Amino acid sequence: MDEAVRTEVVGAVLVITLDRPSANAIDVPTSHALHGAFSRLESDASLRVGIVTGAGERFFSAGWDLKAAAAGEAVDADHGPGGFAGLTELFGRSKPVIAAVNGLALGGGLELALAADLMVVAEHAELALPEVRVGVVADSGGLLRLPRRLPEAVAREMLLTGRRMGADEALRWGLASRVAPAAELLATALDLASEITAGAPLAVAAVQEVLAVTAGLDVREGFALMRSGELPAYARMLRSEDALEGPRAFAGKRPPRWRGR
C-alpha cells in the first residue's frame, strides 16, 4: 500500500487514511492506492464497512494535486479503475463507505466524500467545489452527485460560485448525517459503522444494490425492477439463511447470528 494511504482494521471496519501533507491532495498514484484500499474492502469477507478520512485536522483533502498538475499531470489523466480518488467511479459496491470529513473538503476532496455512502463531518470542517475558480469543473462526480444530495438551488450556487458550506449547514440539508467535535470524529464514524454491522451483511448489500439501481426511477418502476428477479444481491438476501435467522432471533429474544449466507 502506498505510504500516502494507510489502512487499519478495527473489528469488521477498514479505516482508510489519506496522509499526504500538507493538504492531503490527490495525484494519480494516490488514486491508485486509494482504489487498492477500497478494492480490499470489497474483496475481504471479514470486512463489512469502510471509513475514509484524512490525516490531521486541517484538511480532509484539498482535492486534485495542483502541484502535480503544474508538473504535467493532465486534467484528464487516467486515475485508474475507480476514477479520481479510487472511489468516484467505483460502481457496484456492496459494502458501505463512510467519509469522516476531518477538515476542509475542497474540490476533488468533496467529490471523494460525495462518492461515499454516508458523511460524518467535524464541527470545524468546510465543504466546497471551487473548480470554476481555477478554470475547470467538478467532473469527478461533483456536478452529478451534489444536485442529488442538496436542493438544486443550493447545489447550483456552490458549483457556480465555489462557496464553502459549514458542518451545521451540511447537517441541516442532510448532506452530512452526523456532526462531531474533531476529537470525536473517528469514534463517531466507528459508532455509525457498528450500527451498520449490526445488520445482516446480505441485507446491507441488498440495500446498496437497490438504492443504486433504482436511482432516478419512480416508485412503480423501482418495484418492477425489484420484482423482476434481475437484482442478484436482493435475490440472494431473500433466499438466505440470515433471512430466517432474523425472525428466529427476534422470537427467541436473542441477538441474531449472521452467517452471510
Note whether 51 and 13 are within 8 A (CB).
Answer: yes
Q: What is the pLDDT of residue 135?
A: 87
Cell of 258: 449472521
Q: Beginning with the edge strand found earlier in the chain, give each strand of the sheet holding 126-128 in spatial order.
A: 59-61, 104-106, 126-128, 165-166
The mean per-residue pLDDT over the stretch 221-228 comes to 96
The CATH number of 5-197, from 3.30.70.20, 3.40.50.720, 3.40.50.12280, 3.90.226.10, is 3.90.226.10
Catalytic residue, chosen from 73, 111, 123, 126, is 111
Containing 65, the helix (H) or strand (E) segment is: none
Q: What is the pLDDT of residue 73?
A: 59
The mean per-residue pLDDT over the stretch 9-31 comes to 95
DSSP assigned state of 124 = T
pLDDT tens digit string along 139-188? Answer: 999 999 999 999 999 999 999 999 999 999 999 999 999 999 999 999 99
Q: 173-178 long-range contacts, Cβ below 8 Å, gap at least 24?
A: 173/149, 174/149, 175/119, 175/127, 175/149, 175/150, 176/101, 176/119, 176/120, 176/121, 177/118, 177/119, 177/120, 178/120, 178/121
The mean per-residue pLDDT over the stretch 15-31 comes to 94
Instruction: State pTM to two decimals.
Output: 0.94
SS3 14: strand
What residues have CB less than 8 Å from 216, skipping those under 6 apart?
A: none
Supply φ then ψ for residue 61, to 5 degrees: -165, 140
Q: What is the pLDDT of residue 64?
A: 81
More confident residue, 134 or 224: 224
Q: What is the pLDDT of residue 65?
A: 77
Q: What is the pLDDT of residue 183?
A: 97
Catalytic residue, chosen from 126, 131, 169, 245, is 131
pLDDT tens digit string along 200-222? Answer: 999 999 999 999 999 999 999 99
pLDDT at 70 over 80: no
Known catalytic residue at 111: yes
Least confident range from 60-69, 127-136, 190-199: namely 60-69
- How far is residue 252 CA from its own chain's centroid? 36
Number of H helices, E strands in the chain: 11, 10
C-beta neighbour count of 259 within 10 angstroms: 12
Q: What is the pLDDT of residue 1?
A: 47
Whose CA is closest to 163, among 188, 133, 135, 193?
133
Distances (CA, A) of 230 to 29, 201, 213, 220, 260: 36, 20, 11, 16, 20
54 beta partners: 18
pLDDT band, residue 66 (cuts 50/70/90): low
SS3 156: helix
Note whether 236 and 259 are within 8 A (CB).
Answer: no
pLDDT at 76 over 50: yes
Give the domain ranges of the chain: 5-197, 201-251
Average pLDDT, the chain: 94
